[in-house]
């Protein structure tokens, strides 16, 4: 059987996606923007909907085969419903939604979880509720890796950015002691490129910036970096050879704070400790417990204590092991958490291990006793603020203020939260996010995918640097951006939110107490994307 589509003299109709149901209904999406339903036995057209302004690139159908979603170049997602079954089956267009700014290339459905997921050129994933497709706003998953590819040499104020096949190094800017005006802008120092075609899997930078390491799927590479000038603008980079023959490729790696050891989590579910001096030696290999040696889990997270004694590692099966580096043995294995561990770090001075899971629960373990601390028990019993816990953004980083180790900072891709563990926790029902609605912005509902919308421009205008706008305007901008927190209230002394930087990729402290924040401006991301489909909008010329 051959089914002929609508054709034009200038170009042929292209079929981008096809689905066939159990009753031989053929569903197609074509380059004319049509979503069509065909009788597969007779080859006749049942229904045709020109619901898209351009090519339909993806179709998705549920298990009962009575609901279909289509998406394409016009960034719109349209749903169709089967209202009549049998010989006189009837498909109708029901709803549509648009949250993407560019082409939607893929759709996926998980009915037991009531989820529809879309993804496309704008690099975002949108998660919709199937039962409330148009009633509730979808959750947007940021297009950033869970584990940041950015490292900081805290002693040298140097930041390293891991790319697919290279490492880039930046010297942080400098400010006057008495003001926050930048006296010297950040500058790129050097770039180390990997040989071959393999991508870099992981990397690490020593706090003194003298050692740099990365690994691909074949081997680990280590480099010695010598400063040739006091202002750290001239370098001499030399690769360390030979490396220990028993050294395996690494999935994660980290230097100890003193820079004397490189710790690698291998693809064989083991921890290898390298001692670095004039020669590099493999000090120990610690094999982690695995239920099935033929199916070894991947390593997801590594954290090393500030005194260099303890190492914590988390694998893809959510197993958390604490290793005594000095004695080269596993110290303890923590109980399995009900939710996946998304971030962890050691608290300075006490060397307590802080763990945050995907459900936003915070655990503090005494490393020596392998028991929860009093603060952690109180947090579990009382509960954290519900508004904070119910946010769909996951915590991806933990750091502590070096001048006050009781200040714990939790980072996701939109905000960071400062928790003062010396103060009592706020009540679970306390309001920590106060919504500010401006009358002039509330008159007209903003269109989310419209990049020329005034609301969008007002939001992205915050990404401009304050210094370039002058002190007066910068001060007004800061006051405008600062969230209305009840910081004076006793309830929120221990729980403070910062929304100034977004999207937030990295957050950590330097040795001098300066907080290093790396953000990825939305406009700079959009500039790298192809142009969107031109659409007519009401009220625009």
Q: Is residue 267 part of a domain?
A: no
Q: Is residue 82 part of a domain?
A: yes
- Residue 88 domain boundaries: 5-141
Average pLDDT over residues 423-436: 83
Q: Is residue 255 part of a domain?
A: no
Question: Given pLDDT bands bounded at 50, 70 and 90, which one contains residue 292?
Answer: confident
Average pLDDT over residues 512-523: 87
State the pLDDT at residue 491. Answer: 52
For residue 13, the domain's CATH number is 2.130.10.10
Q: 132-146, 400-414, 501-515 — which one is most confidently predicted on average?
A: 400-414
Average pLDDT over residues 365-370: 92
Q: Is residue 134 part of a domain?
A: yes
List, in order, residues 6 or more apart from 347 with CB less than 8 Å away: 353, 354, 364, 400, 405, 408
Average pLDDT over residues 425-443: 70
Q: How many CA atoms lie within 13 A of 511 on its CB side?
A: 13
Report pLDDT digits (tens) over 135-158. Answer: 888 999 888 988 889 999 999 889
Q: Which of 381-385, 496-500, 525-529 has the lowest mean pLDDT?
A: 525-529
Report pLDDT digits (tens) over 443-460. Answer: 444 444 443 444 434 433
Q: Which token pair is 54?
A: 């351009």
What integer best gives the mean pLDDT of the chain?
A: 86
Q: Is residue 91 part of a domain?
A: yes
Domains in the chain, number: 1
State the pLDDT at residue 347. Answer: 96
State the pLDDT at residue 235. Answer: 80
Q: Is the pLDDT of residue 472 over 80?
A: no
State the pLDDT at residue 410. Answer: 97
Q: How far is CA 424 from CA 398, 492, 493, in A?
A: 20, 9, 8
Task: Round to whole Å and give the CA distance between 415 and 417.
Answer: 7
State the pLDDT at residue 121. Answer: 94
Average pLDDT over residues 406-424: 95
Residue carrying structure tokens 């870099």: 200
State the pLDDT at residue 436. Answer: 54
Q: Is the pLDDT of residue 406 over 90?
A: yes
Question: Given pLDDT bands bounded at 50, 70 and 90, which one contains residue 92?
Answer: very high
Average pLDDT over residues 77-81: 96
Q: Is residue 41 part of a domain?
A: yes
Average pLDDT over residues 121-146: 90
State the pLDDT at residue 232. Answer: 63
Residue carrying structure tokens 């490396």: 243
Q: Would you call the peptide bond into 242 cis, given omega within 30 degrees of 0 as the criterion? A: yes
Report pLDDT digits (tens) over 18-68. Answer: 999 999 999 999 999 999 999 988 889 999 999 999 999 999 999 999 999
| H or E stretch at 376 | helix 374-382
State the pLDDT at residue 464. Answer: 40
Average pLDDT over residues 416-420: 96
Q: Is residue 123 part of a domain?
A: yes
The edge-to-edge listing of strands for the beta sheet with 90-97 is 56-61, 67-72, 77-84, 90-97
List, in order, residues 6 or more apart from 237 with CB less than 8 Å away: 190, 192, 212, 223, 224, 225, 226
Q: Which of 136-140, 268-272, 298-302 has the lowest mean pLDDT?
A: 136-140
State the pLDDT at residue 387. Answer: 92
Compare 226 and 182 and report the one with higher pLDDT. Answer: 226
Q: Is the pLDDT of residue 431 over 90?
A: no
Q: Which token pair is 295?
A: 């199916």
Long-range contact pairs involving 229-237 (C-beta distance under 8 Å, separation at least 24): 232/156, 232/158, 232/171, 232/189, 233/171, 233/187, 233/189, 235/189, 235/190, 237/190, 237/192, 237/212
Q: Is residue 486 part of a domain?
A: no
Compare 34 and 293 and report the one with higher pLDDT. Answer: 34
Compare 471 and 513 and report the one with higher pLDDT. Answer: 513
Q: Is the pLDDT of residue 504 over 60?
A: yes
């Amino acid at each position: 059987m051959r089914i002929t589509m609508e054709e034009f003299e200038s170009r042929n109709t292209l079929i981008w996606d096809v689905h066939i149901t159990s009753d031989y209904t053929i569903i197609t999406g074509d380059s004319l923007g049509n979503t069509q339903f065909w009788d597969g036995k007779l080859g006749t057209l049942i229904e045709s909907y020109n619901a898209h302004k351009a090519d339909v690139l993806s179709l998705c159908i549920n298990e009962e085969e009575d609901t279909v979603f289509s998406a394409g170049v016009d960034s719109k997602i349209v749903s169709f419903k089967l209202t009549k079954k049998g010989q006189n089956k009837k498909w109708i267009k029901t709803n549509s939604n648009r949250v993407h700014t560019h082409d939607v290339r893929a759709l996926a459905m998980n009915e037991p979880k009531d989820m529809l997921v879309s993804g496309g050129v704008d690099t975002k994933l949108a998660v919709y509720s199937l039962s409330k497709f148009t009633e509730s706003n979808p959750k947007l998953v940021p297009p950033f890796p869970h584990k940041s590819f950015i490292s900081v040499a805290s002693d040298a104020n140097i930041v390293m950015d891991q790319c697919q096949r290279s490492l880039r190094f930046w010297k942080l800017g400098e400010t006057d002691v008495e003001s926050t005006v930048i006296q010297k802008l950040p500058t790129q120092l050097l770039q180390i490129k990997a040989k071959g075609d393999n991508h870099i899997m992981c990397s690490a930078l020593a706090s003194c910036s003298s050692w740099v390491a990365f690994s691909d799927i074949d081997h680990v590479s280590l480099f010695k970096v010598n400063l040739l000038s006091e202002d750290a603008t001239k370098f001499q980079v030399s690769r360390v050879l030979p490396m220990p023959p028993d050294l395996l490729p690494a999935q994660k790696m980290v230097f100890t704070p003193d820079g004397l050891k490189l710790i690698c989590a291998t693809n064989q579910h083991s921890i290898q400790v390298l001692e670095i001096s004039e020669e590099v030696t493999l000090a120990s290999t610690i094999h982690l417990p695995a239920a099935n040696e033929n199916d070894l889990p991947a390593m997801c997270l590594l954290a090393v204590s500030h005194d260099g004694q303890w190492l914590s590692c988390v694998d893809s099966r959510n197993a958390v092991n604490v290793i005594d580096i000095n004695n080269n043995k596993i110290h303890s294995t923590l109980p399995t958490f009900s939710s996946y561990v998304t971030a962890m770090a050691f608290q300075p001075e006490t060397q307590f291990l802080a763990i945050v899971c995907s459900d936003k629960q915070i655990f503090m373990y005494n490393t020596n006793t392998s028991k929860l601390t009093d603060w952690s028990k109180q947090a579990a019993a009382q509960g954290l603020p519900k508004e904070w816990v119910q946010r769909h953004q996951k915590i991806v980083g933990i750091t502590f203020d070096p001048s006050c180790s009781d200040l714990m900072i939790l980072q996701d891709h939109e905000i960071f939260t400062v928790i003062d563990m010396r103060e009592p926790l706020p009540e679970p029902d306390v309001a920590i996010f106060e919504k500010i609605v401006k009358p002039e912005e509330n008159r007209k509902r903003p269109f989310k995918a419209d990049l020329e919308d005034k609301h969008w421009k007002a939001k992205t205008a915050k990404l401009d640097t304050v210094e370039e706008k002058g002190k007066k305007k910068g001060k007004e901008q800061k006051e405008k951006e600062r969230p209305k927190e009840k910081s004076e209230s006793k309830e929120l002394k221990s729980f403070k939110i910062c929304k100034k930087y977004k999207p937030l990729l990295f957050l950590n402290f330097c040795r001098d107490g300066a907080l290093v924040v790396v953000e990825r401006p939305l406009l700079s991301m959009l500039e790298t994307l192809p142009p969107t489909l031109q659409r007519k909008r009401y009220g625009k010329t």
